[in-house]
Each structure stands twice: as C-alpha cells, then as structure tokens.
C-alpha cells in the first residue's frame, strides 16, 4: 500500500480537474464555432476536421466529469471565455491558444494523483487527453504554416 503522501488528494484533484473542465468545455465549443464559421477553401479543408476535434473534446469532457463524480465532486458548469474570429487564421490561432491552455491545466491536474491504482488510472486518462490535444495543436499549427 502506498504511503500517505502518495495517496490521491481527492479534494485537490477535483479542484484541478474542474479548472481543466472549464477550459475543455470552451475547446468543444470553439471548435464548433470555428468549423461552422469558416468559408471558402478553409471550410472545405478544415471544417470536417475541426468538427471531429470538437466531438473529441466533448468525449474528453465526459471523461473528466466522470472522474470528478467518482471522487465525490461536482463538475463545474462554467465555460471559459469564447470568441468568434471571422478570419480563418485568427480562428485557428485562437484554437491553438485555447488548446495550449487546456494542456497546461490537464498537466497540472496530474500532480495530486498519487501512486495508488485509481491515481494511476487518472494520470493515464489525463496523459491520453494531453497527447490527443497536442496532436490537434500540431495539426492546427501545420494548417497555419500552409
């Protein structure tokens, strides 16, 4: 059995997961706003991919909510600030900024996880989300370089 300092700090985990969740909600909505707002060649090229990313964000938010509930917490219903950017480049740049902020919040949520089984499961879920989101950021950055 892990030592006391290696146990999951549920209260701190809930706090940090909710901070990430507020940003995760924004990501899902921002992808939808961007996908539906693009016009011309950008809409044809990026719209379906941004829609898929938005769907993934909703799935990610559900996973975070499930963890918060499993630790006896209450998920936030607050959403970080949304923006509509009419220009495709600005919209993609804003998505990159949003995703980088969520990645940092998810990374911060790993710290109080500890070393017990459920801690390892939480850490693995967070790392998987960070990896997925970083792949999305990489895609968005490639789109900006084009």
Tell me the C-alpha distance between 93 and 97, whole Å.
Answer: 6
At 93 the pLDDT is: 96
At 103 the pLDDT is: 98
Per-position b or e across 41-70, b if 16+ CB within 10 A of its CB = ebeeebbeebeebbebbbebbeebbebbee
Tell me the C-alpha distance between 44 and 53, whole Å.
Answer: 15
- pLDDT tens, the chain, 146 aa long: 556 668 889 999 999 999 999 999 999 999 999 999 988 887 788 999 999 999 999 999 999 999 999 999 999 999 999 999 989 999 999 999 999 999 999 999 998 877 888 888 999 999 999 999 999 999 999 999 86
Output the six-digit token pair for 108: 């911060």
Tell me the C-alpha distance between 65 and 73, whole Å.
Answer: 9
Output the six-digit token pair for 13: 């985990």
60: closest CA among 96, 99, 118, 21? 21
Stated pTM of the model: 0.91
Q: Domain boundaries in the chain?
A: 8-145
- Describe the crossing of helices 117-145 and 88-108 by its angle, rounded to 10 degrees: 160
At 2 the pLDDT is: 54
Q: Which of the following CATH numbers is that of domain 8-145: 3.40.718.10, 1.20.1260.10, 1.20.1090.10, 3.40.50.720?
A: 1.20.1260.10
């Amino acid at each position: 059995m892990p030592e006391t300092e290696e146990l999951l700090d549920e209260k701190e985990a809930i706090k940090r997961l909710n901070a990430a969740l507020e940003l995760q909600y924004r990501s899902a909505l921002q992808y939808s706003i961007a996908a539906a707002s693009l016009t011309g060649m950008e809409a044809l090229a990026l719209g379906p991919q941004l829609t898929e990313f938005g769907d993934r964000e909703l799935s990610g938010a559900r996973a975070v909510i499930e963890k918060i509930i499993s630790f006896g917490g209450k998920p936030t219903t607050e959403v970080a600030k949304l923006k509509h950017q009419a220009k495709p480049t600005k919209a993609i740049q804003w998505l990159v900024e949003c995703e980088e902020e969520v990645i940092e919040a998810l990374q911060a949520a790993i710290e109080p996880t500890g070393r017990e089984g459920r801690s390892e499961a939480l850490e693995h879920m967070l790392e998987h989300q960070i990896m997925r989101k970083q792949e999305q950021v990489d895609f968005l950055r490639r789109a900006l370089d084009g």
